[in-house]
Structure 1
């Protein structure tokens, strides 16, 4: 059964790695729903957070293929229940809509969003949450003709108190030292 999975990939920052990772998904005909890349807590190590809808068996195969890539330190897969995650969305609405009616102000307040910028022509609103929450706010605000809308990819951390990459690196370093 297809289910949403979050794949985290840890690597050094090398040119072309993103292309090689996405090719793994393309070959297996699995669509990437969301992708974010940023530095991790470990200096020099970058974290890819990739969301896919697939079977567990398919995800396991994808993770194994990704780990075969040069420059990849380690890859993991998780279900949504094993992760804490958020997305950020930005909405630009016409300023005149706020002056005509206080509904937007109420919608923003009730949704836990905040206003980032107000100009003569537009207001920029920010909302963090799950995709369903940011989409629901879009639908509310679109009644006032949203001028622009963007949602980030997912950012996620594990619920597990132990950083699995740190454990992997310690084990690898100990193994390398024992070989010397």
Structure 2
């Protein structure tokens, strides 16, 4: 029987050290697992970094990878969760020619319907920001592509769990 491939959000709490990203990505690379997105940020505890990694694999593979990640000296704790166990978002920005904003009524409708936000406008271009689920961002990208996108960038997933993770107490103890 074949194991089911699932999308997992991995949260890794670490010290912020040079070379750790390379070692953790190598854990996935050795198993031929593609990282769909990765985000690094401050965590709820000062001095501790949180990485959010999005991957597709079986739960059996995921458990093995978590074990390998936690063997890294700088890693405090690693967790994995399914989409149903998390609240997650991505962000993106679009740079588009300004004349389209004023000449194409349809662009204004797309912006309004997608709940995108205009960040800046000048004579040459305007910049839109959109936060949401990946499918919302991909839909907005498809709609705006018809008019021409000068630049596009999308963040990796950011996520919090629906259930308490009890990491705060562990991190507080680590920080003291």
**Residue equivalent to 1:47:** 50
Counterpart CA distance in 2 for 1:110 and 1:170 is 43
Q: CA RMSD in A?
A: 1.6
1:13 equivalent to 2:8? Answer no
Q: Which residue, out of 77, 102, 105, partners 1:102?
A: 105
Per-residue deviation, 1:114: 0.6
**What TM-score do the two structures reach when normalised by structure 1?**
0.91
**Residue equivalent to 1:112:** 115
Q: Which residue, out of 29, 34, 46, partners 1:31?
A: 34
Name structure 2 gaps, 5 residues minimum. Answer: none
1:165 equivalent to 2:167? Answer yes
Per-residue deviation, 1:113: 0.5
How many correspondences in the alignment? 172
Counterpart CA distance in 2 for 1:79 and 1:167 is 23
> 1:128-161 deviations in whole A, cap 9, x for unaligned?
001110010011111111111110001111111x
Name structure 1 gaps, 5 residues minimum. Answer: 174-180
Larger mean Cα displacement after TM superposition, 23-32 or 97-106: 97-106
Per-residue deviation, 1:88: 0.4
**Residue equivalent to 2:86:** 83
Counterpart CA distance in 2 for 1:58 and 1:120 is 51
Counterpart CA distance in 2 for 1:61 and 1:128 is 32
1:166 partner SS: helix
Measured at CA, do residues 79 and 97 of structure 1 come closer, stay the same or move farther in structure 2, by a change above 3 Å?
same
Larger-gyration structure (1/2): 1
Counterpart CA distance in 1 for 2:93 and 2:19 is 29
Larger mean Cα displacement after TM superposition, 163-172 or 135-144: 163-172
